[in-house]
Amino acid sequence: MVSERRLQEARWDFNAACQQVYWDWLSRVQWRAPLFVLDEAHHAKNDNTRLASLLRSDETQLLIEGKLATGKPLLWEKFDRMLFLTATPFQLGHHELVRVLRSFAAAKWSGQNAPNGSREDFLNGIDELEKRT
């Protein structure tokens, strides 16, 4: 008979393998969606979290200029619109809130459903906002 511990370890291994297959598939398949809704968006405030890495990169300027062919955030240009929800925005510090707002640069900024203005203008506005501490 299989012990409960070995069964639990097998479940963890199976779940980890399934998750890896899912992330590999998601990074390779060509897909798009009209809307991305992120609840608890304040969790995207820290640049070193997995959630933040799905939306933004230290290389954002290179991404905008098309000079970074690999290493794009997984959700970069996958959505026409993004809606971030949080019940704790006032617990965020100024710089943390700015980092969350930078995540909106991941939206698709071209085509019929593109946001008004350019991604560059948006990020320039965020830079100006960040200076106002």
Token pair for 36: 């991305």
Contact 54, 73 (CB under 8 A): yes
Same domain? 58 vs 114: yes
Same domain? 41 vs 92: yes
Same domain? 65 vs 124: yes
Same domain? 26 vs 38: no
Same domain? 22 vs 40: no
Same domain? 42 vs 102: yes
Average pLDDT over the chain reads 87
Same domain? 10 vs 52: no
Q: How many residues does the chain have?
A: 133
Distance CA 45, CA 59 (A): 17
Would you give the end-to-end CA distance of the chain in angstroms? 63
Of 89, 66, 69, 75, residue with least CA distance to 36? 75
Q: Which residue has the higher pLDDT, 79 or 1?
A: 79
pLDDT mean over 95-106: 89
Q: Which residue has the higher pLDDT, 121 or 91?
A: 121
Structural domain range at position 46: 33-131
Contact 101, 52 (CB under 8 A): no
Each residue's pLDDT tens digit, 102-116: 999 999 988 888 888
Asked whether the predicted pLDDT for residue 12 surpasses 90, the reply is: yes
pLDDT of res. 19: 93
Number of domains in the chain: 2
Same domain? 74 vs 123: yes
Contact 44, 88 (CB under 8 A): no
Same domain? 116 vs 52: yes
Each residue's pLDDT tens digit, 28-85: 888 899 999 999 998 888 888 889 989 988 777 777 777 776 778 889 889 999 999 9
For the chain, give me the number of helices (H) and strands (E)?
5, 2
Q: Is the pTM of this model over 0.85?
A: no
3-state helix, strand, coil in the chain (%, to 5): 50, 10, 40
Same domain? 43 vs 9: no
Same domain? 38 vs 87: yes
Same domain? 86 vs 125: yes
Q: Nearest 5°: phi and psi at 33?
A: -145, 150
